[in-house]
Amino acid sequence: MDVAARTAANRRLLADFFDGLDETQLEAQGLCSAWTVREVLGHSAMPFSVGIGRLLWRTLLATGSIDRASAAIAEEQARRPVAELTGLLRTYATKRVPAPGVGPMGQFTDHCIHLRDCARPLGFDTDVPLEDWHAVLDWLPTKQASLGVVPAGRLDGLALRATDQDWFWTAPDGVEVSGPSEALAMALSGRSVALADLDGPGVATLRERIG
């Protein structure tokens, strides 16, 4: 898969999705508990309006927490008009942005998950293609993903199986968790609402670990 090309396509998909929302939908709570739907848009457009230097400076001000710095910047960016933010997503769709630690796949995964963070609670079926979820699922069990997406230990003793495409991964002596690719990815990244779409004896373990 051409990660850069798929990342660009998903930025444009995000822009189209957010442009179609009204004010009530934009103020709804997303699945990413820290943000409203509008703030998810602010976060998604942040790399094109806030340079890496500013992000690092804000991280220092947040006593070294890149999560707190990113959340604060996302809230600030969300005050801008929606059309400005979606315009940034389209204008810079093909721009390669540094993603310290997680790399290009982390950034690609971020777009896939955040689209569903907003579409799921609003009742929309807007989604990325199955092949994108295949790539996301391949990446989530890696050490890179453990830096901020899937905490170390969450997948221990689990076997993961997609029911809508040919994808399978297992830890040693894994107990099965199965379901649609999107639901697997959302649950592995901590979205407990997606557990309802999964089956298998390992779901209870995954639920306990997500909290």
Model confidence at 59, in pLDDT bands (50, 70, 90)? Answer: low
Taking residues 90-104, what's their average pLDDT?
89
143 CB neighbour count, 10 Å cutoff = 7
Q: What is the mean pLDDT of residues 83-98?
A: 94
Contacts of 118-122 spanning 24+ positions with Cβ under 8 A: 118/17, 118/18, 118/30, 118/31, 118/37, 118/40, 119/17, 120/31, 120/186, 120/191, 120/193, 120/194, 121/28, 121/29, 121/30, 121/31, 121/37, 121/193, 122/21, 122/25, 122/28, 122/37
Higher pLDDT, 34 or 174: 174
pLDDT in tens, 169-211: 999 999 999 999 999 999 999 999 999 999 999 999 999 999 8
| Band of residue 57 on the pLDDT scale cut at 50, 70, 90 | low
**What's at 65, amino acid-wise?**
S
Name all contacts of 121-125 with Cβ < 8 Å and 24+ positions apart. Answer: 121/28, 121/29, 121/30, 121/31, 121/37, 121/193, 122/21, 122/25, 122/28, 122/37, 124/17
Is residue 60's pLDDT more than 90? no
